[in-house]
């Protein structure tokens, strides 16, 4: 089921601010997943002459998971509840590129695979121009 965003912003769902808020737009949020886009630019961490190192895709996956879980938090606890959560493990990360060029648009889909109390295991796939660039499984803890 798709969740209505009802004017909520990325800042409502995530604790990230300034240059550490890497997501650009929420495309869709469901009960257990979120779809986002981000345009890679020179303000991103891990910038090189070739673009941004693929390790940044872990953070894009985590922030996309935060959108899904942030919307669930807002629904259950209200907009002003704590948005804090932590990436506590990277169970698996398969990168299909070394670098993402500046100006590229990354589409990320993160989906909760396992929930136990406040611990979540999240599976993420990330694409650039329709090409799969990473498959990542994260372990997250929500405050």
What digits encode the pLDDT tens for the residues 70-105? 888 888 888 888 878 899 999 999 999 999 999 999
Torsion region of 135: left, alpha or beta (phi above 0 gives left; psi -120 to 50 gives alpha) = beta
**101 alpha carbon, distance to own chain's centre:** 19
Q: Does the pLDDT at position 3 exceed 80?
A: no
Q: Does the pLDDT at position 6 exceed 80?
A: no
- If you average pLDDT over residues 118-135, what whole number do you get? 96
Q: Does the pLDDT at position 7 exceed 60?
A: yes
Answer whether CATH 3.30.420.10 is correct for domain 10-142: no
Rounded CA separation 107/74 (Å): 24
- If you average pLDDT over residues 5-31, what whole number do you get? 87
Question: Is the pTM above the cut of 0.95?
Answer: no
Longest dimension (CA), the chain: 44
- If you average pLDDT over residues 93-121, what whole number do you get? 96
118 compared with 113, residue with greater pLDDT: 113
SS3 67: helix
Residue 139's pLDDT is 97
Determine phi and psi for 88, rounding to 5 degrees: -105, -10
What digits encode the pLDDT tens for the residues 36-83? 999 999 999 999 999 999 999 999 999 999 998 888 888 888 888 887
């Amino acid at each position: 089921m798709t969740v209505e965003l009802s004017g909520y912003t990325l800042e409502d769902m995530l604790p990230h601010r300034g240059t550490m808020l890497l997501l650009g737009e929420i495309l869709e949020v469901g009960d257990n997943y979120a779809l986002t886009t981000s345009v890679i630019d020179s303000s991103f961490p891990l910038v090189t002459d070739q673009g941004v190192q693929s390790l940044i895709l872990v953070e894009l996956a985590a922030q996309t998971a935060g959108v899904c879980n942030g919307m669930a938090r807002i629904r259950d606890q209200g907009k002003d509840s704590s948005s804090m959560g932590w990436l506590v493990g990277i169970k698996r990360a398969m990168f299909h590129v070394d670098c993402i060029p500046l100006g590229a648009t990354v589409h990320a889909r993160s989906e909760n695979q396992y929930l136990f109390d406040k611990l979540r295991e999240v599976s993420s796939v990330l694409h650039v121009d329709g090409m799969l660039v990473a498959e990542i499984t994260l372990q997250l803890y929500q405050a």
